[in-house]
Chains A and B, each alone.
Chain A
Amino acid sequence: MILTDDEQRMRDGAEGPAVAAAMDLLVRYGQALDAERLCTVRNVAGTTTQPSPVKARLVAEGGWDRAFSIINLDADETLPIPPMAVPTCQLQQGFGPDSVGTVPYPPEFVELQTDGEAFVGARGVSVLATCTPYQVGNLPVRGEHCAWMESSAVVYANSVLGARTNCEGGASTGAASLTGRIPCWGNHHDAHRLGTHLVRVDTPVSSFRDWGLLGYAVGDVVQEARPVITGDHALPDLTDLKHFGAAAASSGGVEMYHVVGVTPEAPTVTAAFGGRRVPEPVVFGEAEKRAAYERLNDQGSDTDVDFVLLGCPHASLDQIHDVARALDGRRLADGTQLWIMAPRALAVVAERSGHTAVIEAAGGRVLTDSCPAMSRAAPLGTRVFATDSAKQAHYLPAILGIQAWFGTTAECVDAAVTGRWRGDLS
């Protein structure tokens, strides 16, 4: 791999041992990809603070310098970690102090994470603590090269914002944060951003649920490829596209998609395919919609719901407001809990706007920083949960060994109030 003089200097240790370790990891990673060179990034979204048993051990052995060195730089020894070289944010993590008393999550992890936030914060990391950094202040511009992890954020950054990032990991984002470099490969190149599959929507897609079903079906068909969506769909909003991408990155590994006339690199079908031959369309009709719905609901058999989970990826203000309106004046059923996950910055606005008070008066909670899947934590005794998120319906049954129902936000709120699942695909 070709390194610039600056990159070679970093590798040789001119900026200290942590930067040298970071450059060594990037070279090993770039060679593994067969990348020709590195590209400059000025926007990193990674994770350092999320607690785990291994991290707790490393911090006990040598502090957060050790945990960052071993995990985020893939080094063998404890290195002093300098300030971040480029703007960097912390993605979703474990549960924080606001969860105590509601979420069964180890108190020593809450403490460890709070300590970790101070460590990274002092080195210039913005602790956004969300899987949706683009909702709360990290909004890359079109064409900006980034190093992001979190599959739902990566697909949003590439597709909706027109920024350029691969699906990075904890070590590559750690190394990028100290060097401002990442292998120039895959989604950083024009040719790897063009559409590969044409998808024709033949059944109306107009709701948040429908965009999730479309994403789940499309991800299953195209896997890691790049779908181009056309046809009978309404103009999606941020929330719809957030759901669509997260679903497509769960059933498949979609990192880039185009919605013709909506997303920035697809003003036309021709442009989405870069002038190459447009393939025959894959059709998303009534049958495909029903198949996706049934697959997402094949982990549920008992209609007694004890847990309702909303806000995956982390909720927008519109979503929190919608839930508050649906819960206004109602009470959750005895034995049923409702959590809506949100970025802490938006939870502050929701509280200020009065939405949180309405949700809490009904017995629900607005929670931040994490989610039940990331932290393997749901209300004690949960057997059956309901969600409006295709991603949570996909992952949580395996992670927590519980049954799942997927439907609209209104159906989920109804389940929380009645304790019964009554959803259908109408």
Chain B
Amino acid sequence: MTGLRPAPARVVLRGRTVVPGVVTGEVLVSPETISGWGGIDPATGTITEARHPLAGVCFTGRILVFPGAKGSSGWSGFFQTTRLLGTAPIGMVFAVTTTKVALGAVVTRVPALADLDDDPVAVLRTGDRIRLDATAGVVELLARTEEEP
């Protein structure tokens, strides 16, 4: 766990509700799109794609911030399985809406936001603490990680 400091200035992103709900937690930023089938292990809640920058990293209990989904139509089923096995992320914030990621967020049943007014992957950093109000369509940075990006 890295240290946190107060957010430097008020950082707020606004977006479109994908799945309503409110959650506060730590961010995991994936700089690249994520594969479901062949890309994650639902049993452990980790990213497994060998060439992915987050290979081996666990998303369980964190708010996943990522550009979007890639790969097979099994995407939603794999994330649904993380919910059934208790390894799911607690929220999702993504840039590009596709059927794969939209259905995936629905069946993972976590607050989810998309189509934001700024790129969440560029603005947020792994380790940041945010409040995701997907009902109102707002992400607020509560505390900034002390880790350099």
Contacts and interface: CB of A to CB of B under 8 A. Distances in A.
Interface of A: 25, 28-29, 31-34, 52-54, 70-71, 74, 149-151, 154, 166-172, 185-186, 223-224, 250, 252-253, 373, 395, 397-399
Contacts of A171: 76-77, 80, 103, 106-107
Interface string B84-95: 110000000000
Q: Identify whether the interface residues of B are mostly helix, strand, loop, or mixed.
A: mixed
B77 A70 contact: no
Given A154-B73, A253-B70, A168 B98 contact: no
A167 B73 contact: yes
A170 B74 contact: yes
Interface of B: 16-19, 38, 42-43, 48-51, 69-77, 80-81, 84-85, 96-100, 102-107, 112
Nearest to A34: B16
Interface centre among A32, A150, A399 (most CB of B within 10 A): A32
A172 to B, nearest CB: 5
A216 to B, nearest CB: 14
Given A71-B80, A169-B100, A398-B38, A32 B18 contact: yes
Contacts of A54: 42, 81, 84-85
Contacts of A33: 97, 99, 102
Contacts of B76: 169-172
Given A169-B103, A224-B98, A398 B49 contact: yes
B102 A32 contact: yes
13 contacts: A32-B18, A54-B81, A54-B85, A168-B99, A168-B103, A169-B99, A169-B100, A169-B104, A169-B107, A186-B99, A223-B70, A253-B69, A397-B50
Contacts of B17: 31
A32 B103 contact: yes
Nearest to B16: A34
Given A29-B102, A398-B49, A169 B70 contact: no
A398 B106 CA distance: 27
Given A52-B81, A398-B38, A169 B97 contact: no
A223 B103 CA distance: 19
Contacts of A395: 38
Given A25-B106, A32-B106, A70-B84, A167 B77 contact: no
Sorted from nearest, which 6 A-B pairs have the closest CB atoms?
A169-B76, A149-B73, A32-B102, A166-B99, A170-B77, A32-B18
Nearest to A175: B103
A172 B75 CA distance: 12
Contacts of A224: 96, 98
Nearest to B42: A54
Given A28-B106, A34-B16, 16 more contacts: A32-B18, A32-B103, A34-B97, A52-B81, A54-B42, A149-B74, A150-B72, A151-B72, A169-B74, A169-B76, A169-B100, A169-B104, A170-B74, A186-B99, A223-B70, A398-B51
A32 B74 contact: no
Nearest to B108: A74
A29 B43 CA distance: 25
Given A71-B77, A398-B50, A185 B72 contact: no
Contacts of A250: 71
Contacts of A223: 70
Contact of B80 (A31, A74, A373): A74
Contacts of B72: 150-151
B105 A150 contact: no
A29 B106 CA distance: 6
A28 B103 CA distance: 9
A399 B38 contact: yes
Nearest to A396: B38
